Structure 1
Amino acid sequence: MKTVRLLTVLIIFAACKTSPPISTCRYTGEVKDMSGIDGCGLVITMKDGTTLQPVEFANPGFTLKAGQTVRFDFMELKDRPSNCMGGRVVRIECIQETK
């Protein structure tokens, strides 16, 4: 019985360390290719014109592509300088392509 309880607790803790569910992706933006500017690559432009430079992903399996429209959530990394001259350096917490 103790083994079953221990396994249950371990499974619950392991499940808590996954990325947030897609429903928490609050923002919408378009992926743009800014590789023509030194230090830039793919960025996300939000509807209000804010440019985000993703440098970390909670879900490393997602691949950004120019022209994609995405729903996402992010955390700004204020201690990281931008190589892209304008744009906030961010960690993408959740992301999905919209159709």
Structure 2
Amino acid sequence: MKTVSLCAVLFIFAACKTSPPVSSCRYAGVVKDLSGIDGCGLMIEMKGGVLLQPAEFAVPGFTLRAGQAVRFDFMELKDRASTCMSGRIVRIECIEETK
């Protein structure tokens, strides 16, 4: 009985412990409007000029805007093709606007 009570108390304290959420948004970039290039649209440009073409978003409701600075994480979708012919096609796993 003592073991069960001790486990219950430890579980309650562990469950109540709060810590700030760890962001998995590891990369930084700027949203670019490349709609002037056939098949392209809003893309994310990372440092070094790497372009990412978002095809899917794991987080619904986020809207990309040209010039927007973002922190994000992504997974490359190597089985996808695009008419854009520029950048890597990706699924955005995490995204947030930065200042």
Which TM-score band applies after superposition, normalised by the shorter structure? Answer: 0.7 to 0.9
Report runs of 4+ in structure 1 exceeding 6 Å deviation: none
Q: 1:22 to 1:90 in 2, by over 3 A?
A: farther
Q: State the TM-score, normalizing by the size of structure 2.
A: 0.76
Q: CA RMSD in A?
A: 1.2
Which residue of the partner structure matches residue 30 of structure 2? 30
- Rounded to whole Å, the distance in 2 between the matches of 1:75 and 1:49 is 18
5 Å-filtered alignment, 1:1-99, equals 23-99=23-99
Q: State the TM-score, normalizing by the size of structure 1.
A: 0.76
Q: How many residues align?
A: 79
Q: C-alpha offsets along residues 32-75 of structure 1, whole Å, 9 cap, x if unaligned? A: 00001110000000012110000100012100000000000000
- Rounded to whole Å, the distance in 2 between the matches of 1:36 and 1:68 is 18
Q: Kindly, what percent of the aligned residue pairs are identical?
A: 76
Q: Does the 8 Å CA contact 1:82/1:88 hold for their aligned counterparts?
A: no
Structure 1, unaligned runs of 5 or more: 1-20
